Every structure is written in C-alpha cells, then in structure tokens.
Amino acid sequence: MSSTLQIQRIKESKRSLVDFDNLQFGSQFSDHMFVCDYKDGSWQNPSIEPYAPISLDPSAKIFHYGQSIFEGMKAYKDEQKNTLLFRPLDNIKRLNISAKRLVIPEFPEDLFMQGLTELLKIDDQWIPTKEGSSLYIRPFIFATGSGFHASPSTEYKLIIATAPSGAYFAGKVRVLIEEHYARSANGGVGFAKAGGNYAGQFYPTQLAIEKGYNQVIWTDDTSHEYIEEAGAMNIFIRINDTLLTSPTSDRILDGITRKSIIQIAKDAGISVDIRKVTVNEVIAAAKSGELKELFGAGTAAVISPIAAFGYQGTDYDLPDLENSYASLLKKKITDIQTNKSEDPYGWRVLIK
C-alpha cells in the first residue's frame, strides 16, 4: 500500500458563493475531496484534490452490480473555533463491516483518519459555525473495475466529500407504518450502509409522500408485525417513561447515533428497553395515551421527532410535550459534539 498523501489545492475557492446563513442539507460542496484507489491488490495513491466530476468506463461494475457503500459523519466548530469529530473510528469500522458484506476490500483505519484529518484542515473555512449547522462528511467506496461479468470488481475508489449543511428535517414529520414493502430481509444487507438499500426505499416512500406523509416506518419483511426503522434512521418509541428501540440484526443498521442515545439515556436515568416492538403495541399505546413520543435517530438529523403516524387508514397524533426525551437527548448529544459539555465517553475527537 502506498500511503504518501499527495495534495493538490484548488486554484480559487467557491466558498464566497455559499450563503452560510441559509444552508440546505448536502446540496453545496466544499473545495476539496480525499481520493484513494484500490488496484493490483492494494489501496494506493491517496490524494486530496479539488472537488470535481470523475470519469468512469461505461462498463464499470458500479453501474451494473451495485457494489457501493457509504458512511455519514459530521465535523463541528466549538466556540473556540476548534474542529471536532464525533466517534469517527466507529464510522470507519462500520464502513469496513459494510465492505466485507459486499466483497469490497476493507480500507485501512489509519489512512482513513489521515486523509480525513488533512481534508478538514485544508477546508477548515467550510465548517459552519452557526448553531445547528455542521460540515456533513460523506465517505464512500464504489467499484470502478470494468466488465459485464457478474462478479466482484478488482478495482475500487474511495472518496471523502464534504458539504456545509443546515438541518436535515424542518417542521413536524408525519410517517406511515409500512404494511407491504420491506427495507431489508434476514440474511440480506440491511445492516450495511449499501447504496442499494436506499434506492429500494424510494418507491414505497414516494407512495407515502403521495398520501401526505414525509416518511415510512419500516416493519419486518415477513409479517410486518414489528417496528424496525424510520425512513433512513433508527427509531425510538417512548411508552410512558420507558424508551424502546429494536435490537440490531441483519435487517437493522447499527446506528452510531442510536448507540449514543442509548448510553446517554441510561446515564440520565431514563429506562431503556432494547427489544422487538409490535405495531399493535404502538397502536394500543397511542389509543390509551401511553404513547408519548416517536423519534428517528441518525447522523444527518441527530434526532427527528415524529408528530403523527398513519396505519391502516387511521392517523394518530403524538402529544406535544414541553420536556420531551427527544429534546433532552438531542441537546445532550449535540452539546457533546460541539464541546458545550463534558464528554465522559471519549467520543469527541479534536482535529489538530
């Protein structure tokens, strides 16, 4: 493996063209990207170069067999303008778990952190300082080897691109509990962050949008009896004062935000129960008034409260709580991320 990092800086920055007071999520991109290629059996030629289109052969296997994985991370600025990451080693470890499942060569952790660190230093001015904003980081790997034969590629490319971003969701989110389509199946790739997982979600999500909802709550692939995920996020359910979430499995992503919320909630004295939750249990709790909150959890939104959900033609509104678990936990996790509170877990990483 050749690990000498080459750096090519952009001639003129695009930063002045971006309105940092009105950032959308993931729609404008920073000046540079980290790139590394896999060929001849090793990762080689790592570089930081200007963000730009890439050229691929029409027979590149990404187009035909979908070998593509990604991660989602964020960089933050604290009040002293230090650059901070949140649990980055968990991201590279999960990227490699996804890689193994899709027969993609694993990427060295030390090279990943070296490339990411240098990229953040070079594009330091792209990291927003406005409350609620961050630099979204998208590492991804895809097959670049050519050929129509149905087999794993022999060549791959890793790119880390970044985007200054505002909030992922704005306003109240309404979701529809899915009764027919499934996000993933036992023995499948639901636990991996594979691009195809998300492509398969778009159609049932679009059907839900046409009915007036924002997202789908996914249920299990056979009986559709159990609550599993919310859109592209893990889901938490508060019944009375207990916070419930599904256990991870072949079908459910081992979310880094999910793990963080579980730990923080337990340490805050909140009862957390990791177990399968049935749709019928949620409906019964909604009817009795015991269902207090539903919220999604993921890197992009951190925590996204759900205002209402639909099931079998009936809509159920969630109470508007003044001191919700969602707001409490979101503040605790974002305060750690942005260095506004102590980090007893060692999750926060300072970029030096």
Secondary structure class of 222 (helix, strand, coil):
coil
Task: Tell me what the mean pLDDT of segment 310-332 comes to.
Answer: 96
pLDDT at 167: 82
The answer to whether residues 164 and 30 touch, using CB atoms and an 8 Å cutoff, is yes
pLDDT at 195 over 80: yes
pLDDT at 273: 98
Task: Tell me what the mean pLDDT of segment 254-280 comes to.
Answer: 98
Phi-psi region for residue 154, left (φ > 0), alpha (ψ -120 to 50) or beta? alpha
Task: Tell me what the mean pLDDT of segment 111-127 comes to.
Answer: 98
pTM over 0.85: yes
Between CA 292 and CA 61 the distance in angstroms is 47
Task: Read off the pLDDT band of 296 (50, 70, 90).
Answer: very high
**Domains (ranges, CATH) in the chain?**
6-165 (3.30.470.10), 173-333 (3.20.10.10)
pLDDT at 100 over 80: yes
pLDDT at 248: 95
pLDDT at 119 over 60: yes
Task: Tell me what the mean pLDDT of segment 197-220 comes to.
Answer: 96
Name the residue type at position 255.
Answer: G
Calculate what percentage of the chain has a pLDDT beyond 70. Answer: 99
The separation between CA 225 and the C-alpha centre of its own chain, rounded to angstroms, equals 25
Which residue do the tokens 């800086």 mark? Answer: 9
Number of other CB atoms surrounding residue 340 within 10 Å? 12
pLDDT at 1 over 60: no
The separation between CA 120 and the C-alpha centre of its own chain, rounded to angstroms, equals 19
Q: What is the mean pLDDT of the chain?
A: 96
What are the DSSP E strand ranges found in the chain?
A: 6-7, 32-39, 42-50, 68-70, 73-77, 83-86, 134-143, 156-165, 173-177, 215-219, 226-230, 233-239, 242-245, 271-274, 277-278, 291-298, 302-311, 314-317, 348-350
pLDDT digit string, tens, across residues 18-74: 999 999 999 999 999 999 999 999 999 999 999 999 999 999 999 999 999 999 999
